[in-house]
Amino acid sequence: MKLQIAVQVGKVKVTISAPVDAIILILALLV
């Protein structure tokens, strides 16, 4: 059970961090 929760949390973190990284890249290019 704990492993499943960890995998789900990891997926959520990847889903959230990917767009954030893209936004940071775009901002870095604009500056």
Whether the predicted model's global pTM rises above the 0.85 cut? no
pLDDT at 8: 92
| CA end-to-end span of the chain | 45
CA dihedral 4, 5, 7, 8 (to 10 degrees): 120
> Residue 29's pLDDT is what?
94
Give the model confidence (pLDDT) of 1-31 as tens digits: 788 998 998 888 888 888 888 899 999 999 8
Angstrom CA distances, 25 to 1, 2, 15, stand at: 36, 34, 16
